[in-house]
Amino acid sequence: MTDITRLSAADLADKLASREISSVEATRAHLDRIAAVDGDVHAFLHVSDRALDAAAEIDRRRAAREDLGPVAGVPLAIKDVLVTTDMPSTSGSKILEGYMSPFDATVVARSRAAGLVPLGKTNMDEFAMGSSTEHSAYGPTRNPWDLDRIPGGSGGGSAAAVAAFEAPLALGSDTGGSIRQPAHVTGTVGVKPTYGGVSRYGAIALASSLDQVGPVTRTVLDSGLLHDVIAGHDIHDATSIPDAWPSFADAAREGARGDVLKGLKVGVVKELPDSDFQPGVAAAFRDSLAKMEAQGAEIVEISAPHFEYAVAAYYLILPAEASSNLAKFDSVRFGMRLDVPGGTVEDVMSATRDAGFGPEVKRRIILGTYALSAGYYDAYYGSAQKVRTLIQRDFDQAFAQVDVIATPTAPTTAFKLGEKIDDPLSMYLNDLTTIPANLAGVPGISLPVGLAPEDGLPVGIQFLAPAREDARLYRVGAALEALFVDEWGGLLLDRAPELKGGAR
């Protein structure tokens, strides 16, 4: 009998549609898997007690021959940055412990409407600040490939859930790489959509001009299926793009069978030399380029002279926006409130924020308020915004010459838990290659392209496309994925070591 948890979302959806498997069976299989392995992985902060009921409802509707969408009945993990009415939403912070939202994030509402079955909420760095999920107030998530290593961040929970076969689909958010970098270190696929392509309504804001919600899955097609569910205009998000989107699942299918690599111009950034990356990461990247070239792609060296300032600009813009967004956690409106006998409102507020926020959040609030202060605004925030414009121009010039840009997704494979936690700068530098896309608003995908020989851990490649050309990423990503699946005889994740308690 098939192990349901090993199926891709696309294959599971087919079996649900043909009624070979019921949604209750599929949901139960994933809940059992969570019960077996999540004690070790800790991908979930909360497991839904309504999942089986939601699945039974889909089964009932299918039996009644209702017209259900293509992924109805498939289980879904949801990053805890997205608010939900039936489960707590904490964004990985103590200040929101137990917080229940009065509404669902638009992406959650759309997922439910598409018949996806929420399994639970996944762990994350507090308010999505981090690259390792170690900044979660609820303890770290572990990488299913090696439990002593980080699953990436901030969306380590969603990536680990998918990599550990606890969920076939997950939602993440990406402000500077939090979908793509976790995908890279866990051997999964992650997509950061074009800014404005997916609603941010109900995504607890980190930095509003950078945040985007997107899919985390095991295959490119599965990301396309989930992206199709969540994409599209939302009147509740003023930055949401009103135009209709093509089907990303169709784009992935086209990429997997067609010859989209022939004549494709792939830009490689001159200013990101191989020496910036761990040897096995650079080697897997070069191998991918060679594979694409063998299929007729043209590798073109491009220059993006301002990418090297992206991390610096990001760590002014992000803290500035974050310090403003987090001001709403004031002990009055949401979440935690400490009792300060005889204290003033200000005493209560400051005691609550002191107890409720972790060290990384405090660091960024201090940085952000400083960067925005009257005396330093032009020197810091103003300059960073100018650099942002220069990076956007780098992209414009590059995309005048090439169809997509390719980079390794991150400098190294998964590092050890604890290795970078006391060194914020080295943590920040993880996002060297992912941050430029957020600053420019362009879409990006990361997909697995091999294991680094030196440590046997997964490596991803990142493709970037012009704004609104997300479908191109699905075509190109699926085309490269198909070459690897042929070579490997399956997915990279099939080679991950089995987890204790997960033996079937």
Catalytic residues: 79, 154, 178
Residue 435 to residue 441: CA distance in whole angstroms: 10
Tell me the window of 169-177, 217-225, 283-291, 296-304 that interacts with ligand GLN (CB under 6 A): 169-177
Instruction: Using alpha carbons, select from 270, 346, 263 the residue that is nearest to residue 306.
Output: 270
Between 85 and 426, name the residue whose CB sits nearer to ligand GLN. 426
Between 123 and 131, name the residue whose CB sits nearer to ligand GLN. 131
Q: What is the chain's percent helix, strand, coil content, to nearest 5?
A: 45, 15, 40
Subset of residues 130 to 149 that bind ligand GLN, contact rule: CB under 6 A: 130-131
Number of residues forming the site for ligand GLN (CB under 6 A): 14
Report in angstroms how near the CB of residue 249 gets to ligand GLN at its nearest.
Answer: 25
Among 51, 109, 318, 371, binds ligand GLN (CB under 6 A): 318
**What tokens does 275 get?**
């020496």
Tell me the window of 72-80, 125-133, 243-251, 295-303 that interacts with ligand GLN (CB under 6 A): 125-133
Among 91, 93, 175, 407, binds ligand GLN (CB under 6 A): 175
Angle (nearest 5°) at CA 125 between 122 and 129: 135
Report in angstroms how near the CB of residue 342 gets to ligand GLN at its nearest.
Answer: 38
Q: How many CA atoms lie within 13 A of 102 on its CB side?
A: 2
Residue 436 to residue 456: CA distance in whole angstroms: 28
Give the start-end residues of each E strand in 358-409: 404-408
Is 129 a binding residue for ligand GLN by CB under 6 A? The answer is yes
Between 130 and 441, name the residue whose CB sits nearer to ligand GLN. 130
Report in angstroms how near the CB of residue 130 gets to ligand GLN at its nearest.
Answer: 5
Residue 72 to residue 137: CA distance in whole angstroms: 33
Place of tokens 């198909």: 482
Site string for ligand GLN, 371-390 (x = CB under 6 A): --------------------
Report in angstroms how near the CB of residue 180 gets to ligand GLN at its nearest.
Answer: 9
Q: Phi and psi for 9 in degrees, rounded to 5?
A: -60, -35
Subset of residues 415 to 434 that bind ligand GLN, contact rule: CB under 6 A: 431
Residue 73 to residue 56: CA distance in whole angstroms: 9
Report in angstroms how near the CB of residue 336 gets to ligand GLN at its nearest.
Answer: 22
Q: What is the CA radius of gyration of the chain?
A: 21
Site string for ligand GLN, 428-467 (x = CB under 6 A): ---x------------------------------------
The secondary element (H helix, E strand) that includes residue 478 is: helix 470-488
Residue 419 to residue 344: CA distance in whole angstroms: 41
Kind of pairing, strands 404-408 and 265-269?
A: parallel
Instruction: Using alpha carbons, select from 408, 368, 325 the residue that is nearest to residue 95.
Output: 325
Site string for ligand GLN, 84-113 (x = CB under 6 A): ------------------------------
Place of tokens 């969570």: 34
Report in angstroms how near the CB of residue 87 gets to ligand GLN at its nearest.
Answer: 20
Is 157 a binding residue for ligand GLN by CB under 6 A? The answer is no
Residues 484 and 459 sit within 8 Å (Cβ to Cβ): no
Among 26, 204, 206, 283, binds ligand GLN (CB under 6 A): 206
Is 154 a binding residue for ligand GLN by CB under 6 A? The answer is yes
Report in angstroms how near the CB of residue 280 gets to ligand GLN at its nearest.
Answer: 22
Between 129 and 480, name the residue whose CB sits nearer to ligand GLN. 129
For residue 120, is it left (φ>0), alpha (ψ between -120 and 50) or beta?
A: left
Task: Work out whether the CA dihedral 465, 468, 471, 472 comes out positive or negative.
Answer: negative
Among 73, 120, 176, 436, binds ligand GLN (CB under 6 A): 176
- Binding residues for ligand GLN, rule: CB under 6 A, are 128-131, 153-154, 174-178, 206, 318, 431
